Amino acid sequence: MHKFLFRRFLQSIGVFLAVSLVMFAMLQAAGDPIALLVGEEGTPEDIVRLRRAFGLDRSIPVQYVLFLRNALRGDLGISYHHGVPAMGLVLERVPATLELVLTAMLVATLLSIPLGVIAASYRGGALDRLFLSGSLVGISAPPFWVGIVFILVFGVLLRWLPTSGRGGWEHLVLPAGSLALYRLALFIRLVRSGMLDVLGQEYVRTARAKGLAERAVVFKHALKNTLIPFITIAGLQMGSLLAGAVVTERVFAWPGMGRLILDSIQKLDYPVVMSWALVTAGIFIVINLIVDISYSFVDPRVRVT
Amino acid sequence: MRRTMSRPPRSARGLPRWAGPALAALLLALPPAAHAAKEHFVIAFQGDAATLDAQGRNETTTISIQMHMFEALIFRAIDGGLEPGLALSWKAASPTRWLIKLRKGVRFHDGAPFTAEVAKESLLRAQGKGFAKSQMKHFTKGIKEVRVVDEATLEIDTGTPYPTLPEDLANIAIVPVDYIKKVGDAVFARKPVGTGPYRFVEWVKDDHIDMAANPAYWKGAPTIKKVRVRPVPVNAARTAGLLAGEIDVVWGVSPVDAPQLEANPNLKVYRTVTQRTIYLTFDHWRKEGGPLQKEGPYSPGLPKGHPNPFLKLKVRQAVAHALDVQALLKAVMHGSGVPATQLNPPQAFGYNHRLKRLPYDPARAKKLLAEAGFPNGFKTRLDCPNDRYINDGPMCEAIAGMLTKAGIVATPNPRPKAVFFPQMDAGDFSMFMAGWGTQYVTPTYNAVFHTRDLKRGFGRINRGHYRSEEADAIAAKASVEMDDKKRQALWERMWEITMGDLASLPLYQQEAIIATQKSVNLKPRFNEWVLAQEITLADKN
Amino acid sequence: MAQEAAIGIAREEAFEAPPARRRSSLSLAARPDAALSLLVLLAALLIAAAAPWISPYNPIGQRLNLALRPPFFLEGAAPGHLLGTDGLGRDLLSYIFYGFRISLAVGLSSVTLSILIGVSLGVWSGYKGGGADALIMRLADFQLTLPTVLVALAVIAIFGSGVGKLILLIGITHWAVYGRTVRGSVLATREREFVEAARALGASPLVLILRHILPSVMTPILIISAVELPRVMLLESTLSFLGLGVPPTVPSLGGAIAHGYEFLLSGHWWLTVLPGLALMGVVVAINLLGDWLRDVLDPRMQR
């Protein structure tokens, strides 16, 4: 296990480096942040001066090396647009995004298990069809649509919930809900199909034959075995949730990482984009690691590679 | 095999029986939570302030927010004129020496006094002394030396005659230099202290900025006591907030949404024409089409080997005749906006009221094209941003469509601004659409029309490499002419020349639309700022 | 998506089930929803192919005086424009017809590209094992980290916008899920006796593995694609929403939805809703077909 962890650690460093290099290259290719900073009405002297002030007058390889050197010291530079340390900007947004993403994850998971089980239990019945159609719509609607529909229905029409921004729990409902919708729909289908598979398995029939109560059959045996792939999926979904949060955060004006990265990419704010890339890569790597490890714990038959 | 299992007892379902009714009851019982008494007066912009350092960023939203807490020596009035701010009066004692009398008894929010010394240090900081990242530097171009005469008098030496000093001073905020020395630039950018009508309370980036009325403000405390500024990037969400009663003032209403809001009896909509002019620019220097090379001879928006039609005045005039700006505004902007004849708004100093647009006349356009040697028209690319100006993407397409109908087969090429502007700087165009947003004629000329000489700071926006020695000479004379009447005449002549040459083709001035709750009274500003201290409420509850 | 892959891997590695042949009581006749979906999909493909002939108008032709007309069932509709017009007077029906082309083209091509890359890398990774395997799997991690938005911005900067570039962009940034699945299959197969036997006999194990796994890996690939394809089509829409998608002169359903979004609150709802329904129709059809395919191809399904 230790060897495995160590190897993973080394590989993760490799990933960090690769991520930073590719991001850096792409940012350089994407345009000039200083021109954007001063706008049309700035003067050429401003540009030269600011370029020097931000260290952008050096050659690109030099810039990258400097960036790496500073990064190792924990200094990822000062945001061009905000004038404050970039890593700090990203890290202070993490709680908001995690709040959104974890809630969405929780909602999707907690609701999908019972709903998926119901659907599987009533295979072919009205409820099953309802959930299937509902989930179909859930995975087919463009995410920015869902957000605005929620805002219009629950915020403007019914006036039940606030239309945007972060605050108490009532501010969390719509954004987390709209972020969760796609995954909820997906999970319902997965749980349902997983349950259906497993319900047909030999040992389930054996258990049933042994006369165990239906409930025990359904829950204890079938569900436990559905959970194995489910954990994997859930873990991997975190990553895609982080990506989906970008649009949700924008629509709901949620002050999280996704909003920051979108703005920063559009403004070519290199230090912020690089910080964000590293933080996200880190989160991904940790998630993958947890998933791989817990996977091998839950089912010892699966070898950890 | 049909159903292998008998129906499980109800309790075997995932949810207990009472779950359904309980959920329904919960939903119905949910209070309209968003409408507990709103504490703050909420203004929603499209983006957040970039920084709260009043000298740190020259961008409309940022400055609009900062101007609640900061002030300049000279105050920019709602109609664009100049009024006393922290300065009581200003006068040119000689062509190169200005005397400025300052207001007494003003204090910063932290109690520090406003003095001539503080004013001087603020100006120097704006100039970049001790603050390399200042974005106000170009407003200090005319300042050669600042001298403190006494506690309430400042003397500014401009070296050479500089008639537009007051305009520049209106853009430089006065900052608490001692406070900055104590806490540093980075902290100042997050916890600002100024002399303005509102004090800073808190800033949660991307979420809100809270400000409270300054009871010791020299003009008297403002009526609205608590202000919250919120950035809401998606237009529809911002409008939704207004409709739901959560937002009091919405900045940047899309012209598409405006008519519906105007028809809503609970809302008010304010429109104002701004100083931002949208225009077309041409490639005035390259001879023929071809791939883009660094400082190369080819015009990338034209087919390879084809001659550059934009070199000929008649072709540029044909472009002007091919566009029906009123129809464009009606279709794309829903009537919002005003056709423009030059790159400055009518309120600007030096504006030439005698100039007229070339009228919409596609037949004449075709004739001019033929006379210029293009009887079958020609092909070109039209480059434009798609996320910088209001409806710039659709406007680009509409313009391309109109041009095509007149024989100039234009292909629209909209790109995000992060990519568009650097590529325009690199010369990757033959014709492009952009906006120019200032009412000052001197920087307009120097940046947009002056013969390009980047080392000396001229022509940065003159991407088309337009040259007119006559206009350059006139501009040089005007920038040191202290007599207002003479200066006005000189600038008018400049516009005659540049617009006659169609150095650029101005299209229209953008209109800013603000929507508010019914109880809000404000006068929309020409420079698009929204200031809570200028807002009154019809009925306070 | 990855979760489908995970199910696949879980099945392979946790439960060894013998492949079973069954009769198809899963024929299309028995599954009306799948049959309907197939029809919808065929119709979409047909529309996409025949767009130039069946569209009443040029989809990008502007008619500024006929802008923002509603569909025929609302007041103020313009004759001839069944589904209304957009802000520049372009006919929505024609735009949707052509939109099917681009959306389906982008979807199918990028998924195909992802499959090609994913299968190649997955086979290589699973077969070689060791350093190459670790590298490719970390590359997969890396690909999942990279935000499509950033890549899109850089791609547009360097290469300009366009359908081809969008296909490349999406194709290259979504191979990981296929790669992982195929790798799982290869790993599971690699240890089987017949491979050992082949190696002992001096035959090339790689060819054998390929011949063995490719048919069986088709199933998960098809199933994953049934989820990926709609996801890619929705992604195209999101990129357009952010200003990074196909240019508006290239009609696409995703682009139409994103551009029509601006008109939602002003009463011209059809501009985003109608293309949205069209896209959703195709997406739902693909998902349903995917369900049916999974049932048909699943060796353990029993009725």
pLDDT of amino acid C79: 82
CB B274 within 8 A of CB B437: yes
Which of C262, C271, C273, C301 to mutate against chain B (most B CBs within 10 Å)? C262
| Of A107-116, A154-163, B353-362, the least confident | A107-116
* Interface contact A164-B438, CB threshold 8 A: no
Cβ-count burial B512-540 (b if 16+ within 10 Å, e if not): bbbbbbeebebebbbbbbbbbbbbeeeee
* Interface contact A84-B13, CB threshold 8 A: no
**Cα separation, C153 vs B402, whole angstroms:** 29
CA distance B446 to chain A (A): 9
| Of A45-49, A144-148, B190-194, B505-509, the least confident | A45-49
CA distance C36 to chain A (A): 14
* Interface contact B414-C248, CB threshold 8 A: yes
Please identify which residue in the block is written with the tokens 């714990």: A297
* Interface contact A280-C145, CB threshold 8 A: yes
C27 band by pLDDT with thresholds 50, 70 and 90: low
B274-510 adopts what CATH topology?
Answer: Dipeptide-binding Protein; domain 3 (3.10.105)
CB B46 within 8 A of CB B60: no
* Segments of chain B with pLDDT less than 70: 1-37, 539-541
* CA–centroid distance for C17 within its chain: 30
With a CB cutoff of 8 Å and minimum separation 6, the contacts of B526 are B78, B79, B80, B272, B273, B274, B275, B345, B347, B439
Chains that touch A (3 or more CB pairs under 8 A): B, C
CA distance C240 to chain B (A): 11
C264 interface with B at CB cutoff 8 Å: yes
* Interface contact A253-B244, CB threshold 8 A: no
Say which of A18, A140, A261 has its CB closest to residue C142. A18
pLDDT of amino acid B294: 81
CB B448 within 8 A of CB B461: yes
Tens of pLDDT along A177-225?
A: 999 888 888 888 777 777 777 666 655 666 666 666 665 665 666 666 6
Residue type, A91: L
CA-wise closest residue to B365 among B357, B356, B374: B374
**Cα separation, A194 vs C120, whole angstroms:** 28
Chains that touch C (3 or more CB pairs under 8 A): A, B
pLDDT of amino acid B182: 93
Tens of pLDDT along A248-293?
A: 898 899 999 888 887 887 777 888 888 887 787 777 777 777 766 7
Which of A41, A97, A219 to mutate against chain B (most B CBs within 10 Å)? A41
CA distance B271 to chain A (A): 24
Angle at B138 between CA B137 and CA B141, to 5 degrees: 100
CB C52 within 8 A of CB C20: no
**Cα separation, C188 vs C16, whole angstroms:** 10
Say which of C1, C134, C145 has its CB closest to residue A281. C145
Domain boundaries, chain B: 21-67+184-273+512-540, 77-175, 274-510
Say which of C67, C161, C261 has its CB closest to residue B415. C161
Please identify which residue in the block is written with the tokens 């191979």: C175
C89 interface with B at CB cutoff 8 Å: yes
**Cα separation, A173 vs A158, whole angstroms:** 14
* CA–centroid distance for A72 within its chain: 26
pLDDT of amino acid A213: 61
3-class DSSP state of A218: helix
Say which of C65, C87, C265 has its CB closest to residue B332. C87
Residues of C in contact with B515 (CB under 8 A): none
CB A8 within 8 A of CB A291: no
Tokens at A222, concatenated: 């079938």
Q: Is the dihedral of CA C98, C103, C106, C108 positive or negative?
A: negative
CB C72 within 8 A of CB C259: no
B481 interface with C at CB cutoff 8 Å: no
Residue A214 burial (10 A CB sphere; 0-12, 13-18, 19+): middle
Please identify which residue in the block is written with the tokens 């940012």: A27
* Interface contact B393-C248, CB threshold 8 A: yes
Residues of A in contact with B240 (CB under 8 A): 148, 151-152, 155-156, 163-164
For residues A298 and C255, the model is more confident at C255
B77-175 adopts what CATH topology?
Answer: Dipeptide-binding Protein; domain 1 (3.90.76)
User: Which run of H or E residues covers position C293?
Assistant: helix C270-297
Q: What is the pTM of this model?
A: 0.81
What number is the average pLDDT over the span C14-21? 36
pLDDT of amino acid B19: 47
Q: Is the dihedral of CA A255, A258, A261, A262 positive or negative?
A: negative
Residues of B in contact with C264 (CB under 8 A): 236
**Cα separation, B463 vs B465, whole angstroms:** 5
* Interface contact B234-A253, CB threshold 8 A: yes
CA-wise closest residue to C288 among A140, A123, A240, A116: A140
**Cα separation, B133 vs B156, whole angstroms:** 23
**Cα separation, B266 vs B244, whole angstroms:** 11
CB B192 within 8 A of CB B5: no
**Cα separation, B125 vs B132, whole angstroms:** 9
> Can you list the positions of beta strands (E) in chain C?
none
Residue A64 burial (10 A CB sphere; 0-12, 13-18, 19+): middle
B21-67+184-273+512-540 adopts what CATH topology?
Answer: D-Maltodextrin-Binding Protein; domain 2 (3.40.190)
Whole-Å CA distances, B133 to A31, A81, B414: 20, 11, 31
For C161, the closest chain B residue by CA position comes to B415
Residues of A in contact with B133 (CB under 8 A): 50, 53, 83
**Cα separation, B317 vs C176, whole angstroms:** 55
Please identify which residue in the block is written with the tokens 């998924």: C111
Sheet holding B145-150, edge to edge: B87-94, B97-102, B153-157, B145-150
pLDDT of amino acid B11: 35
**Cα separation, C36 vs C42, whole angstroms:** 10
**Cα separation, B357 vs A205, whole angstroms:** 85
CB B247 within 8 A of CB B397: no
**Cα separation, A144 vs C279, whole angstroms:** 14
CA-wise closest residue to A151 among C238, C267, B229, B236: B236
Query: Beta strand pairing status for B338-339 and B288-289?
Result: unpaired
The 10 Å Cβ neighbour count of residue B484 is: 10
C302 band by pLDDT with thresholds 50, 70 and 90: very low
* Interface contact A35-B425, CB threshold 8 A: yes
**Cα separation, A267 vs C108, whole angstroms:** 32
CA distance B288 to chain C (A): 22
For C303, the closest chain A residue by CA position comes to A200
For B388, the closest chain C residue by CA position comes to C243
Please identify which residue in the block is written with the tokens 């939704």: B240
CB B404 within 8 A of CB B410: yes
Angle at B395 between CA A262 and CA A149, to 5 degrees: 50
Alpha helices, DSSP H only, in A122-168?
A: 126-140, 143-150
Tens of pLDDT along C32-74?
A: 778 888 888 899 899 888 888 888 888 888 888 788 888 888 8
* Interface contact C247-B331, CB threshold 8 A: no
* Interface contact A143-C138, CB threshold 8 A: no
**DSSP characters for C1-45?**
-HHHHHHHHHHHHH----------TTSGGG-HHHHHHHHHHHHHH
CA-wise closest residue to B45 among B79, B68, B20: B68
pLDDT above 60 for A166: yes
Chains that touch B (3 or more CB pairs under 8 A): A, C
For chain A, the average pLDDT equals 77
Q: What are phi and psi of B382, to 5 degrees?
A: -115, 110
Residues of B in contact with C89 (CB under 8 A): 331
* Interface contact B243-A156, CB threshold 8 A: yes
Q: What are phi and psi of A213, to 5 degrees?
A: -60, 145
* Interface contact B13-A263, CB threshold 8 A: no
Residues 412-431 of B with CB under 8 A from A: 416-419, 421-423, 425
pLDDT of amino acid B464: 92
Say which of A194, A285, A288 has its CB closest to residue C7. A194
A81 interface with B at CB cutoff 8 Å: yes
Q: What are phi and psi of B92, to 5 degrees?
A: -90, 100
CA distance A90 to chain C (A): 15
* Interface contact B13-A118, CB threshold 8 A: yes
What number is the average pLDDT over the span A45-49? 78
* Interface contact B51-A53, CB threshold 8 A: no
CA-wise closest residue to A85 among A271, A263, A226: A271
* Interface contact C266-B411, CB threshold 8 A: no
* Interface contact B35-A159, CB threshold 8 A: yes
C2 interface with A at CB cutoff 8 Å: yes
Residues 118-177 of A with CB under 8 A from B: 118, 121, 123-124, 144, 147-148, 151-152, 155-156, 159-166, 168, 170
Which of B383, B415, B428 to mutate against chain C (most C CBs within 10 Å)? B415
Residue B33 burial (10 A CB sphere; 0-12, 13-18, 19+): middle
Q: How many CB pairs under 8 A join A and C?
A: 149
Residue type, C35: A
For B387, the closest chain C residue by CA position comes to C243
Tens of pLDDT along B484-514?
A: 899 999 999 999 999 999 999 999 999 999 9
Residue A129 burial (10 A CB sphere; 0-12, 13-18, 19+): middle
Residues of A in contact with C234 (CB under 8 A): 140, 142-143
What number is the average pLDDT over the span C98-103? 89
